[in-house]
Amino acid sequence: MKTATVRELKLELAEKSPKELIEICLTLSKFKKENKELLTYLLYEKDNEETYIKDIKAEVEEMFLDLNTKSLYYVKKSIRKIIRTIKKYIRYSKQKETEIELLLHFCQQMKTMPYGMQKSKVLIGIFEKQIDFIEKKLPALHEDLQYDFEVAIRALY
């Protein structure tokens, strides 16, 4: 089966009735958990970004508390899983402020994790890569927000 382009899908969806669109959305939500999560964000959380960010931060903190510290290998795997989760939530939001705030929170949590980043070059590399990613996104923000985030980044070092 050949997948349609976004433009083709948009044209086809424009021709559907509201009832048919609801059926399509419900069908999509049944196939993948990510589809259901995205629909939940769009329907319930898009209008209240602060609560969305707060919920994700709480989830990230919980993931850091559940970190498997038996060996460095498991710590690295867990950290990468946390990053994947954060990136997924960032894709839902598409707002630069949300993206930077969540990545900064991740870096702050990484700095305070019980295992300690100093023990691994890989963990230091992951941390620095996220900081670089944040710094690349900063110029797209308003000057006041840029300053606030830059102060937060400096506090990490």
Whether the Cβ atoms of residue 92 and residue 38 lie closer than 8 Å to each other: yes
At residue 68 the predicted structure's pLDDT band, cuts being 50, 70 and 90, is confident
Q: Is residue 79 part of a domain?
A: yes
Q: Tell me the pLDDT tens digit for each residue of 129-154.
A: 999 999 898 888 888 888 888 888 88
Residue 116 Rama label (left phi>0; alpha psi -120 to 50; beta): left
Q: What is the pLDDT of residue 142?
A: 86
Q: Is residue 11 part of a domain?
A: no
Q: Which domain holds residue 80?
A: 48-156
Q: Is residue 147 part of a domain?
A: yes
Q: Quote the DSSP letter at residue 141.
A: S
Q: Is residue 23 part of a domain?
A: no
Q: Is residue 15 part of a domain?
A: no
Residue 126 to residue 145: CA distance in whole angstroms: 24
For the chain, what is the domain count?
A: 1
Mean pLDDT of 86-115: 89
Which comes out higher in pLDDT, residue 67 or 129? 129
* Mean of per-residue pLDDT scores for the chain: 88
Q: What is the pLDDT of residue 148?
A: 84
